[in-house]
Amino acid sequence: MAAAAESGARPWLGDGAQRPRSPVCSPVLGGGGRTRLGLGSGPERAGVRPPGPAAWQGHSFRKVTLTKPTFCHLCSDFIWGLAGFLCDVCNFMSHEKCLKHVKTPCTSVAPSLVRVPVAHCFGPRGIYKRKFCAVCRKGLEAPAFRCEVCELYLHPDCVPFACSDCRQCHQDGHQDHDVHHHHHWREGNLSSGARCEVCRKTCSSSEVLAGLRCEWCGVQAHSVCSSVLAPECTFGRLRSLVLPPACVRLLSRNFSKMQCFHITEMMAPELGNGDSSADGGAAAGPGRETLAPPESSKQTLKIFDGDDAVRRNQFRVITISRLAPREEVLEAALRAYYILEDPDSLELHPLPSQAGNALAWAKAGILEEEEGVKGPGSCETVPEAWVIRALPQAQEVLKIYPGWFKMGMAYVSLCVTPQSTARKVVLEALPLLGRQAEGPQSFHLVEVLMGSRQVQRTVLADEELLLNRLWDIRQTSLRQVSQTRFYVAENRTPVPRITLFVGGLPPGLSSQEYSDLLHEAVATKATVVSVSHVYSSQGAVVLDVACFAEAERLYMLVRDTAVQGRALTALVLPDVLHSELPPDSCPLLVFVNPKSGGLKGRDLLCSFRKLLNPHQVFELTSVGPLPGFHLFSQVPCFRVLVCGGDGTVGWVLAALEETRHHLACPEPSVAILPLGTGNDLGRVLRWGAGYSGEDPFSVLVSVDEADAVLMDRWTILLDAHQDGSAENGVIDAEPPKIVQMSNYCGIGIDAELSLDFHQARNEEPGKFTSRFHNKGVYVRVGLQKISQARGLHREIRLQVGQQEVPLPSIEGLIFINIPSWGSGADLWGSDSDTRFEKPRMDDGLLEVVGVTGVVHMGQVQGGLRSGIRIAQGSYFRVTLLKAIPVQVDGEPWVQAPGNMIISAAGPKVHMLRKAKQKPRKAGTSRDARVDATATPEGDPK
């Protein structure tokens, strides 16, 4: 975890003090006889040693007898013998010899060590093999959650207890950070074969949560070895491709990263609830206990954490001895919620609905009179549901954090009394933070709630009484105390400026027309909302919003609005500070089509978000490529990676062509990760026939090492004739339209097969999940058309330049720009021909080839024949005498009778061709960053 805690500082305690009766030094549950190491322990207690280095990590270790093979969470080695040391709170297991080297903080104190609070982005539940929960350290045997930005894995019931320590992907304007980017360490779940950067030994484990990895540069190390490494992160091998967080600014306030990255979230239950307890579905404690049978010597209790848990009916389950004293029950309840508090400042109350019965039991002597209903005692029958409550305190010791980065100072501690206001705390904190020379009126106190899904900030009024504020938090939730911080921050509030991209609008309108349309659809406020950019041909605009509340309203409203039958889309875009980019930086803009290539795109989307800055990775199906190009419009040099089929590549290249005049880098080089069925352009550029599970890290390295080449782009003008067959003399005419082509354009049988395939896929998309199946459908469709004769040469006319070219007896006419067609076939052929020049993808010429039918196409794809060479040129006019199927780069449709004009389009496109493979040295497997064993729930395997 990225932590900058004060050297020797005490862990976060709700009342700011270490008390002799803290849960981590309390008597052993169920009797004595175990050696305990923990905070607050002392030699005066019988059988307890003075605290070692591990004590400062907040762990509560006890010696346990091992009954099955067990591994150490520090060194990942097997624990020989029958004894090991287990943390009662977070399940950290260790050799006795490793205790003094433990640096991983316990879950109970981890929130206090977070340097910059950043919320996580949890996607849908999935099955993750050989992964471990970051909270309870247990294996993920059932569907679990994964952060889509950092490599954090959690059980559903552990989500509320996760630290808000996700990767910091941008500056938010609330505080200034240091210029040096530090490592962002994440524990465990390393890829197999990972080696330590320091000792070069294996640091991964498939048995336990062990080892560390920086989520930015990918450096991996043992926990002990990591202290040798320099704290600054250089972004590693991918540094030239990464968009540095310091160069991205997003004034998001209440916008979560889920909204900014357009990640679909499936909410996890915060905690167990009453409805799920009957079948054992209620959330258990850190040991993940199950309900005890009625005849057992154990009893199962439901524990609620404050008023919020009672109101939501959310609880944790603990299992204790039926003869356990009140103190033992309270300590078990605190461990279940990972709460590090003094038990003397807390008490257990029966759930309000059971209070009446508890009072009756107290009067009957079942509960001790002096305790009343404060908690269960040594009795056979007690209420099964209890609430943890805090006792009023005369004063508190509060940690105050600076709202700016300061080396060597994480926080200062102040004593808060009933008279302490927010203004008084600011006055006391400023001299301790080294800001005594500045006027106190320039600062205010900010309360920050570090939720796992959202970090919320609240500016406190000067007259706010801090002790009352803390009491309200404790009554709401004791766990919330450890997740709440107080910052002294400067008053300079950044001027609100939120950029909203809105798509799905009617194309071809002016800026004023779009403004009026949005005002009519979602009632935009002209005083704070303005249209900054218009992409008329795409039907999209970019809005500048000068009010947080209005931006939040528009975002939520636009997503539920349709204009002229089309649903609108909205995306929050950050600002890229292009002037702050390093001189050698050429960040990579990534587009992923998750529907391509057997639905492998979703895993790639998640992998690239982890390897790069998530702000530079876009999902095409939700918002298209336009927002990405707009975000990078001021970046002086960048590259593009398109993950999808040939149709996806053409989509992105068309968007690039339309936005080129807006870009500071008008000719970015484009690489391809082929996910489709044909992938002909990917084959030509050496990216392969299709993605087959290669390591995404290696893919990005190949992009960085790729060579730039030029490729022609072609414009096809489709001008349909008027349809005179309309009834009542009404004549309909399709408006002319323009499409862009990179690979090939097919007319006739080639396009007809493609059209049938697309119709079949649209009818049953769930069946088209692999390239092998897709090709099988192509073969089946082709076999059905073998006996059909069309005589295409009688239905079209071809003109090359100013000369009409006679056509032989063919059923398909294909214009090819690259030396690959139909999943890698050489349609033009390699034979020399004095009539034509040797084809190249950058020569400004198209080759025209004919096929006589399905059998001929099959022979071409089998390498037995080539097509019929017809012409070569730079300008073509095709006259369609009847409606005929047409396909461009794999996208088919039926074109009405009329003219097709094909000509060169603007400047050539800069593509990236994969460099030839070089022999790899041994040991490079440590660069593997993503485990391909993750299968999202519901996805096909």
Residue 731 half-sphere exposure toward CB, CA atoms < 13 A:
7
Q: Which structure tokens are listed for 203? A: 């640091």
DSSP 71: B
- CA separation for the pair 311, 22 (Å, rounded): 28
Q: Are strands 796-800 and 891-895 parallel, antiparallel or unpaired?
A: unpaired
**Which of 255-264, 343-352, 767-776, 840-849 shows the lowest mean pLDDT across its residues?**
767-776
Our measurement of the distance from residue 191's CA atom to the centroid of its chain's CA atoms, rounded to an integer in Å, reads: 19
The ranges assigned to domains in the chain are 56-101, 396-490, 498-573, 580-705, 715-723+735-913
Residue 872: its pLDDT value, please? 93
pLDDT tens-place string over residues 95-111: 988 998 898 999 999 98
Q: Which residues contact 665 (CB under 8 A, 6 or more apart)?
A: 632, 635, 636, 637, 638
**Which of 15-24, 355-364, 723-732, 884-893 shows the lowest mean pLDDT across its residues?**
15-24
From residue 712, alpha-carbon distances to 216, 449, 653, 781, 909 in Å are 37, 54, 11, 32, 6
CATH 3.10.20.90 is right for the domain spanning 396-490: yes
Concatenated DSSP letters of 177-228: --SSPBP-EEES-PPTT-B-TTT-SB---SSSS--EEETTT--EE-TTGGGG
Residue 257: its pLDDT value, please? 67
Burial class (CB in 10 A: 0-12, 13-18, 19+), 721: middle
Q: Is the pLDDT of residue 286 over 90?
A: no
Q: Is the pLDDT of residue 681 over 50?
A: yes
Our measurement of the distance from residue 12's CA atom to the centroid of its chain's CA atoms, rounded to an integer in Å, reads: 29
| Nearest alpha-carbon partner for 262 in 12, 594, 517 | 594
Residue 770: its pLDDT value, please? 59
Q: Which residues contact 247 (CB under 8 A, 6 or more apart)?
A: 576, 577, 578, 580, 581
**Dihedral over alpha carbons 145, 149, 152, 153 (to 10 degrees):** 20
Q: Is the pLDDT of residue 48 over 50?
A: no
- CA separation for the pair 91, 188 (Å, rounded): 14
Q: Is the pLDDT of residue 362 over 90?
A: no
625 or 257, which is more confident: 625
- CA separation for the pair 329, 301 (Å, rounded): 9
Q: What is the CATH number of domain 498-573?
A: 3.30.70.330
CATH topology identical between 56-101 and 498-573: no
Q: What is the CATH number of domain 580-705?
A: 3.40.50
Residue 493 — φ and ψ, nearest 5°? -85, 125
From residue 17, alpha-carbon distances to 12, 391, 397, 413, 592 in Å are 8, 15, 7, 10, 51
Q: What is the mean pLDDT of the chain?
A: 80
Choices 2.60.200.40, 3.30.2320.80, 3.40.1050.10, 3.40.50.720: CATH for 715-723+735-913: 2.60.200.40
**3-state secondary structure string, 765-827?**
HHHCCCHHHHHHHHHHHHHCCCCCCCCHHHCEEEEECCEEECCCCCCEEEEECCCCECCCECC
Q: Are strands 484-490 and 396-402 parallel, antiparallel or unpaired?
A: parallel
- CA separation for the pair 106, 335 (Å, rounded): 11
Fold of 56-101: Wheat Germ Agglutinin (Isolectin 2); domain 1 (3.30.60)
Kindly indicate the confidence band of residue 377, based on its pLDDT and cuts at 50, 70 and 90: very low
Q: Is the pLDDT of residue 40 over 50?
A: no
How many CB atoms are located within 10 Å of the residue 762 CB?
9
Kindly indicate the confidence band of residue 31, based on its pLDDT and cuts at 50, 70 and 90: very low
Residue 556: its pLDDT value, please? 87
- CA separation for the pair 749, 659 (Å, rounded): 34
Residue 244: its pLDDT value, please? 92
Q: Is the pLDDT of residue 46 over 80?
A: no
pLDDT tens-place string over residues 490-515: 887 667 888 999 999 999 899 999 99
Kindly indicate the confidence band of residue 592, based on its pLDDT and cuts at 50, 70 and 90: very high
**Which of 157-161, 355-359, 710-714 shows the lowest mean pLDDT across its residues?**
355-359
